[in-house]
Amino acid sequence: MNENRMNMKKGAAILFVIFALLFFVLFARFLMIQITGKADGHSLKNEALQKYLRTDVLESNRGTIHDQHGSVIAEDATSFTLAAILDSSITTNPEKPKHVQDPEKTAEVLAKYIDMDKSEIENRLKRFKKKGAFQVEFGKQGRDLSNSTKKKIEAEELPGIIFLRDSKRFYPNGKFASHLIGFTQKIEEKQGNQVIHRTIGQMGIEKAYEKYLRGKDGKIQYKSDLWGYLLQDKKQMIQEPDDGDHVYLTMDTKIQTFLEDALNDVEKEYKPGKAFALVADAKTGKILAMGQRPSFHPDTRAGLGDNWSNDLVEYSFEPGSTMKIFTLASAIEEGVFHPKETYKSGRYQVGRSAIRDHNGGAGWGTITYLEGVQRSSNVAMANLLEKMGPEVFKQYLDDFHFGKQTGIRLPNEAKGQILYNYPLEQVTTAFGQGTTVTALQLVQAATAITNDGNMMRPYIIDRIVDDKTNKAIVKNKPEKVGEPISKATAEQTREVLKTVTTAEHGTGRIYQIQGYEVAGKTGTAQMPNPNGGYLHGANNYIFSFLGMAPAKDPQLIVYAAVAQPKLEGESGSVPVSKIFNPVMRNSLQYLNIEPKQTPAAKAIKLKSFEGKAVSEVVKELKGQQVNPIVMGEGKKIIGQSPSARSTLLQGEKVILQTDGQTTMPNMENWSLRDVMKASNLAGLKVSYTGEGYVVSQNIKPGVPVKKGQKLIVKLMKQNEKILFDQQEKELQKEEGKNDTEKKEEKKEP
């Protein structure tokens, strides 16, 4: 018994010693930690701070893109990211839960507001809850939510649903110079344990000027509780973000709108494979508008898959006859272009190959070089090249900077290719085939024509402004890049090109704009076949027009091109004119460029001509610059319209009825008002279709008419009339060609 008690005492003593030693060790360890603040080489203070010290990124704002007047084209806007808290430990009051309690109901409600199925949302909530995640986001579908969507979801009062404030790139004009401006995309980057989203430019200005537009993110550090909430009375350490700089373009939003509207109309009506156009300041090279179809919406990227390239910068193509502008200017500069000198049109032999004019090589007989330019004769250009010499013209091509990038500082600028190794390539280059160029190169070269020989580099950036100081850190000015021709040559070239739109047989008559003289050149080029050679068919062409106005002192250059339009009987110039004409007209008027003033017509008061001799009345009216129209072969006047004491302007028609048999006048190009004057006087019943001016009549000119007879006339607007005339001439030539072939067949034995 005593022995057991002694053993118990010894055991107790041993245990006491052991516990005393353990206590001493623990006390010593605690004391050491208290004194040094370290355990196993780790600073406990720092680790405690790290546990409760939160660091969040303060996102910087991306710089805004403006037009030259300050109108916003692209800017950052507030958006929201949807998130769901899954950790139940955040809920302190069960009656007011702060985490998702019912994944099924939550998914059902959220599916109404974001582009995600109910089952997918529910599965995500349950899957991440099982993994022990504190919260979960909903990917792309849950980002970039608008404030209105946020408010609608908040009104549902779903437990655990929160919103993280974010920013998104916003393009207020929608589909608006989209390939020029580009778009941005958010990418995920890891910084330590954090995943942050960075906005990066992916195309156009957004990409090319990324280093200016992107800002530098700031950060905020603060002490928080277990759930990440800021502790009261605790200081925050903030490093402010540095926002991006603001880019101001040379673009004018108003002119860009004119261009977008015209492109929309042509896309809708003709469904082309491509359509593109740009507007430039003729004196400085500033790009005022630039657009293309197909295009895309930069907010949604809808349509981007159809074409990633900026066609005005990255697409090189055969220019067709617009290249003749620069062949003509070179020939004038060399002194070998004489407008009244004649040549034989139709064909031009180059070795074993024949160069043909665009009417199948039929030509127009012996014509002047001026008429050759107006008719867009390939043979005229071949002759001018021969007179200059191929090496001389090659130097002009270099001087006009063909085959070189313009240096506009936009991504992936093409430089085209001058094919000039063999005689045939040299000749075809002179009229725009084989060799390839870009729209920007054509416009840059055209500034030498519009700017008295001084060629200006096209540019799109006006200035870049520092976000903090509001001072320009980049400022672009007009830059002269060459002087390929003299002032006198530029003036003469404009005069010749003006006749392309005004001469009776000018190929550019459809590009006339009321009140303004337009100088320019049409272009038609075959589309290359990816397998070699060219595509065939009436629609497989690039139709274009390079025009400048007002012709005497151009202020604007407009280049428009339409590739593979779906035509139904129209010429390829029609869809191009539906871009060029409204854009040039509206832009000139918007810029307050006054239309050409025509002398005021003098008012004439008519007197009665009844009983007077026809010859005397005609002579008197012509002397007053009035246009007399005589109906009949009589010697005396028995009726007139307008009547005596009526007032009319110089140039108007006066219908005179004679005492002989009344005959039908030629009413071509008459207005409906003049048709009614003559019909009322002769007692005819009039029926008409269309509007504008007369293009046909059922009673032939010179044929006697009787009272009560029916007169039917067809009217057309001016641009329709021009097209009608062109088609009639082509038809007549084709019929004449067929008749000749039939006669030759009959002659054969």
Q: Active-site residue numbers?
A: 321
Closest-CA residue to 639 (of 584, 697, 684, 680): 680
Phi, psi of 674 (to 5 degrees): -70, -35
Degrees, nearest 5: CA angle 61-66-71: 115
| Residue owning tokens 């520092």 | 466
Strands (E), 550-646: 556-563, 603-605, 627-631, 637-641
Q: Please tell me the distance from the alpha carbon of residue 327 to that of residue 312, in angstroms, as a whole number.
A: 22
Contact call for residues 588 and 549 (beta carbons, < 8 A): yes
413: three-class secondary structure by DSSP: coil
Tokens of 172: 């207020």
Alpha helices in 315-377, H assignment, sequence order: 324-334, 369-374
Q: Please tell me the distance from the alpha carbon of residue 146 to that of residue 422, in angstroms, as a whole number.
A: 62
What H or E segment, with its residue span, contains residue 535?
A: none
Q: Please tell me the distance from the alpha carbon of residue 627 to that of residue 625, in angstroms, as a whole number.
A: 7
231: three-class secondary structure by DSSP: coil
**Number of helices followed by number of strands (H, E) in the chain:** 21, 33
Q: Please tell me the distance from the alpha carbon of residue 73 to that of residue 257, in angstroms, as a whole number.
A: 12
Strand partners, 475: 463
Contact call for residues 372 and 380 (beta carbons, < 8 A): yes
DSSP per position, 106-165: HHHHHTTTSSS-HHHHHHHHHHHHHTT-SEEE-GGGGSSB-HHHHHHHHHT--TTEEEEE
Burial of residue 194 (number of CB atoms within 10 Å: 0-12, 13-18, 19+): exposed
Torsion on CA atoms 530, 359, 549, 584, rounded to nearest 10: -60
Contact call for residues 183 and 75 (beta carbons, < 8 A): no
